[in-house]
Amino acid sequence: MRSKILGTGLTGLVGTRIIELLQKYFDFEDLPVEKGFNIVRSETIEKEVADSEAKVLIHLAAFTDVNAAWKERGNKEGLCYQVNVIGTRNIAKLCAKYKKFLIHFSTDFVFNGEKKEPYTEEDKPNSLEWYGQTKYWAEEEVKNSGCKFCIVRIAFPFRAKYDFKSDLVRKIIIGFKSKTLTPMFFDQIITPTFIDDIAFGVKMVFQRKPQGTFHFVGSSFVSPYDLALKIAKILGFDTILLKKSSLLDYLQNNPGDRPYSKNLALSNLKAEKELGLKMKAIDEALLVLKRQIQFSS
């Protein structure tokens, strides 16, 4: 008999790819808003959680528009706080009540980017902006709920194809193709992550059910400018279209905009050591991405 996984947010960028890659192992049951499930209102989801045979719940649903979140900063009645914090509180409490193991997805944005070295799971979050702050509070809700859990932090996830939302890698590809690529920051560090690797990390968590927090992130730290250079080299675009820009200059010239973290390098050594999870470096991931794009075209 195939194992079942109950989930929220399974129709999104990350969730749909997880299903594509793991559906041969598990049966997935989603709790979509379109069918009346609202994680902010616990009573709309409790019966489904209680009745489900699934022993694991993967929680991906979140308010992820960081610019819109910044406009709601400080507002606990706003949609960002309600979905990310209250919604997660409801999910975690139901998992505790009905003894479901919770895989909760979080983000690199919980860190302020001021550390010089890569962030580890031992570093205390201290976000610069509202989205990251609400995601950190969500992590605390999970830890305080009494459920058994694994918190999975991801960073700049990307994949070969998804029609409803562009990730950073595909935005850069589109910019090269349309010759509209915007200048890219050379003085910010990020950790782009191939979603296929995240999916197989979820499979490991389901099998082992490790308790705690893990960084399921790529094995490369790059600037957005260097990422675009690698994309151009591997996918065959003309680098003459690529221009540099400075995060520092941007922040100085746009003081009213949301803050950006300068260093979002995250270490994945804990996941590799404790779970045996090998996350691809960016060059290898882009080569796989290239093959997937060619195969689907």
* Residues 82-99, mean pLDDT to the nearest whole number: 98
Going by C-alpha positions, the residue among 230, 255, 253, 234 that lies closest to residue 242 is 230
- What residue has token string 């819109």? 68
pLDDT class of 256 with cuts at 50, 70, 90: confident
- The pLDDT of residue 2: 86
| pLDDT higher than 70, residue 297 | no
Dihedral pair phi/psi, residue 176, rounded to 5°: -65, -45
Cβ-contact 62, 134 below 8 angstroms: no
Q: What is the pLDDT of residues 113-154, one digit of tens each?
A: 999 999 999 999 999 999 999 999 999 999 999 999 999 999
Q: What is the pLDDT of residues 201-238, one digit of tens each?
A: 999 999 999 999 999 999 999 999 999 999 999 999 99
Q: What is the pLDDT of residues 154-210, one digit of tens each?
A: 999 999 999 999 999 999 999 999 999 999 999 999 999 999 999 999 999 999 999
Secondary structure of residue 245 in the 3-state scheme:
strand
- The pLDDT of residue 157: 98
202 is written with which tokens? 């979820």
- The pLDDT of residue 295: 81
For 28-32, 242-246, 254-258, 293-297, which range has the lowest pLDDT when averaged over its residues?
Answer: 293-297
- What residue has token string 């790529």? 218
Going by C-alpha positions, the residue among 253, 185, 180 that lies closest to residue 222 is 185
Q: What is the pLDDT of residues 24-78, one digit of tens each?
A: 999 999 998 888 899 999 999 999 999 999 999 999 999 999 999 999 999 999 9
- The pLDDT of residue 34: 86
* Residues 77-87, mean pLDDT to the nearest whole number: 98
- The pLDDT of residue 255: 84
The DSSP call for residue 192 is -
**Fold entry, domain 3-296:** Rossmann fold (3.40.50)
Angle between helices 168-178 and 224-235 (to 10 degrees): 60
**What is the percentage of the chain residues whose pLDDT exceeds 90?**
94
